[in-house]
Homo-oligomer: A and B are copies of this chain.
Amino acid sequence: MAETRNPKPAAKAPDSTRRSERSRRAIYEAALSLVGEVGYTRTTIEGIAARAGVGKQTIYRWWPSKAAVLLEAFLDLGEQAAEAAGAEGGEYEIPDTGDLAADLKTVLRATVDELLDPKYEAPSRALTAAGIVDPALGAEFVEKLLEPSLQLYVNRLRAAQEAGDVRTGIDPRIALELLVAPLAHRWLLRTLPLTHEYADAVVDYALGGLAPR
C-alpha cells in the first residue's frame, strides 16, 4: 500500500522525517486501539487524530479514508510481527525444512498466538466483522491483507507437491483452506478453545485425511 503512504520526504531535514515517522506510528496505534474499542462504524478520522495527537488534516494528507488507515495499520502490525520473528525486511514466508507437517504446525501455532494477541485481537475482530457486512471493505481487506498471506501457503504447498509430499491433482489454493479456515472459524465464532494442540490436529487431519489409509 505504498501508493497511499506519504513518499519519504527526501528533501526535508532528518528531524522532519523522524517527526513524520512518529506521527505515522501514533496514527496506526490510535486507529487500532480505537476500532478495537468502539468498532469500525464508530471509528472516525477525527477520533483517530485526537487520540494520536495530530491534526485531522495530517491524516487526510496521507490516507484517503479510515479504511485505508486501518488496513495500513494492520499491514504495519504484520510487518512488525514478521520482523520480530526475524524475517528479512518484514517479508515472511512459511519455513521449508523439508518436513511439511512440522512447517505447517510452526506457522499455524504462530497464527494462533497472533490471533489471541490482545494488541491484535479486538481491532482485527472489528475489521473482520465490518468486512463481513460491507462488501467493498471486505474486498479491500481480502486483497491487501488476507490473500497475500494465503499466497504463502500456496507457495509452500506447491513446493511440497514438487517434493512429493502433497498429492498431484490437489489444488494448493483450495488445500490451504482446510488448514487456515478451521483456525479462523474457532477464533471468529469462539466455538471451542483455539490452542496449539488444535493447530497440530488440524495439520495432521488435513495431511493424513479422515478416511483410513
Stretch at the interface among A63-71, A86-94, A109-117, A168-176: A168-176
Complex interface bits, A112-155 against B, C-beta within 8 A gives 1, otherwise 0: 00000000000001101111110100110110001100100000
Contact check, A174 vs B189: say whether CB atoms are below 8 A apart. Answer: no
Q: Which residues of B contact A213 (CB under 8 A)?
A: 167, 209, 213
User: Complex formed: what's the CA distance from A208 to B167 in Å?
Assistant: 10
Within 8 A of B (CB), among A163-203: 164-167, 170-171, 173-175, 177-178, 180-182, 184-186, 188-192, 198, 201-202
Give the size of the chain A interface in residues (CB under 8 angstroms): 54
Asked if A205 lies at the interface with its beta carbon under 8 angstroms from chain B, I say yes
Q: Give the shortest distance, in Å, between A151 (CB) and chain B (any CB).
A: 11
Q: Which residues of B contact A191 (CB under 8 A)?
A: 142, 146-147, 150
Interface of A is mostly: helix
Asked if A212 lies at the interface with its beta carbon under 8 angstroms from chain B, I say yes
Asked if A207 lies at the interface with its beta carbon under 8 angstroms from chain B, I say yes
Contact check, B177 vs A210: say whether CB atoms are below 8 A apart. Answer: no
Seen from chain A, the residues whose Cβ lies within 8 Å of a Cβ on chain B are 39, 41, 100, 125-126, 128-133, 135, 138-139, 141-142, 146-147, 150, 157, 164-167, 170-171, 173-175, 177-178, 180-182, 184-186, 188-192, 198, 201-202, 205-213
